[in-house]
Amino acid sequence: MTATGTARTALGVFLTGTAASRVGDNADLLALNWYVLERTNSPVLLGLVNVLRLAPIVFCTAPAGWLADRYDRRRLLAGTRILLFAATLGVAIAVADDGPLWILLAAVLFRALAGCAEPVLRQTMLPLLRGTRPLATVVAMHSACLNLAMVVGPAIGSLLLACGPLTTVFWFNAGCSLISLCCLTIVPVGAHTAAASKPAGAAVSVWNFIRANPVVRAQLALAVGPMLFAFPYTSLMPLLATDLLHGDASTVGVLLTSGAAGALAASVSLSRWPMRRPGRLAAVTGVALGGALLGLLLSALLAPETAAVPATVATMVAVGIVGQTYRTANRAALQLALPEGIRGRILGIANTDRALIPAGTALLAPIAQTSSPRIMLLVMGVGCVLLTLAATRLSAGRHAERRRSQKEVSQRCSRP
């Protein structure tokens, strides 16, 4: 097999394992959120579960990037997935026993600690497996796999919830973890070896690189609005489904699947037609994402009762399209700006933006409890728009100031 064929096979096997893992995770998330809300009837406790699920990102993601720059990335990822398999079994047992809630919270936290490095390790593998494909295209293909899982996962989760006990979903996720581990072990040897066996430079050079690179700075700043105010909608969907549509677990699954279908359409399109200016696209779609959430609120308020479900589903498709276009453009702009020797560490820093999702959940869930989920949705849309505009303006101002400074230096140097 040629080197190009080997690279294509390696990428295909890797993405298959990634899709299997994420299908199980998305089915699991649907079941976990519904179980907590049904058992406690508390938006605050639902928010707490999702804080525990995502909070370890703050402490563990950046060190994971450092490890990815030093050691074999495939072995690190395999070890992470083994831990995730064991931790998922623990969550399943905690739900099956229906014991004290703190046991479930502890199991969720342990699983979060076990898997918080997985997204960074996955992303650092992509440049090593791309072969001759453009990196932005491979990033979009990876996003397409994740979004396919977001469509299939909640659908399977809803089906399993309708046909059997809730714990079946967690056993299903454990099986998906095993499939992903098997796929990872058969990635062709050599495809996972980092281009540089040692990281380039000390930690201080990473921060110097970020300060000196306007593209990286801009993409890090742009993440705040969408991650804090928009993407918590996946965790808060049970509240939105019950308030906007008076629905149940199947309604949650339909809305999540609709958003994922839009995201899948966006990522597939981006993988076929590469982005020319991903940084600018990320800024535009970050603002548009907040507008799409406001559209979700308007569709629920203005649509007739008989058309409420179709209108909300259609709006969720739009939310998925815009949100995934933002996320793919943001990650593509970052990947294209990074040298291989420090790629893991900077992606580790960038992936800490996922910690803003539980922070947003913790901020927004009390708003839903003290006022209403509709007020919460209004805050989500407005907050996303305002913060993204502020980040765009700040980044543009700093870039213009830097260009003026460089121009002045050039003029002084050119004087006789």
**384 falls in which pLDDT band (50, 70, 90)?**
very high
Q: Which is higher by pLDDT, 395 or 251?
A: 251
At 299 the pLDDT is 84
Distance CA 328, CA 323 (A): 9
Q: Which of 28, 35, 77 is nearest to 176 (CA)?
A: 28
CA dihedral 180, 184, 186, 190 (to 10 degrees): 170
CA dist., res. 23 & res. 15, Å (int): 12
pLDDT band at 381 (very low <50, low <70, confident <90, very high): very high
Distances (CA, A) of 139 to 132, 270, 322, 327: 13, 9, 16, 10
Task: Identify the band that residue 320 occupies on the pLDDT scale cut at 50, 70 and 90.
Answer: very high
- pLDDT reading at 104 higher than 90: no
* pLDDT-based confidence at residue 378 (cuts at 50, 70, 90): very high
The amino acid present at 277, given as its one-letter code, is R
Q: Check residue 325 and give its pLDDT.
A: 93
CATH number of 7-192+201-405, picked from 3.40.50.150, 3.40.50.970, 1.20.1250.20, 3.40.1550.10:
1.20.1250.20
The stretch 264-271 carries a mean pLDDT of 86
Please, which residues have CB within 8 angstroms of residue 351's CB and are 6 or more apart in sequence? 57, 61, 65, 119, 120, 123
Average pLDDT over residues 301-315: 79
pLDDT given for residue 291 in this prediction: 94
Closest CA to 170 of 382, 72, 345, 28: 28
Mean pLDDT of the chain: 81
Q: Would you say 345 and 199 are in contact if contact means Cβ atoms under 8 Å apart? A: yes
| pLDDT of 375 higher than 60 | yes
For the segment 252-278, the average pLDDT, to the nearest whole number, is: 83
Residue 197 is given by DSSP the state S
CA angle 241, 170, 356 (to 5 degrees): 55
> Whole-angstrom Cα distance, residue 49 to residue 126?
31
For residue 371, which amino acid is it? S
Q: What is the CA radius of gyration of the chain?
A: 22
Q: Mean per-residue pLDDT for 84-101?
A: 86
Closest CA to 337 of 222, 225, 223, 217: 217
What is the per-residue pLDDT across 183-231, written as a single tens digit (0 to 9) for each? 888 876 554 444 444 444 444 477 788 888 888 888 888 888 999 999 9
Within 8 A by CB and 6+ apart from 198, the residues are 69, 70, 341
Average pLDDT score over residue span 168-182: 90
- Hey, CA dihedral for 379, 380, 385, 386, is it positive or negative? positive
- Determine what percent of the chain falls in helix, strand and coil, rounding each to the nearest 5: 85, 0, 15
pLDDT score recorded for residue 389 = 93
Residue partners of 341: CB distance under 8 A and separation at least 6: 69, 195, 196, 198, 199, 200, 201
Phi, psi for residue 72 in degrees, rounded to 5: -60, 115
Most confident segment among 26-30, 35-39, 114-118 = 26-30
- Reported as a pLDDT band with limits 50, 70 and 90, residue 388 is very high
Average pLDDT over residues 326-340: 85
Rounded CA separation 28/157 (Å): 7
DSSP result, 134-197: -HHHHHHHHHHHHHHHHHHHHHHHHHHHHHS-THHHHHHHHHHHHHHHHHHHTSPTTTT--S-S
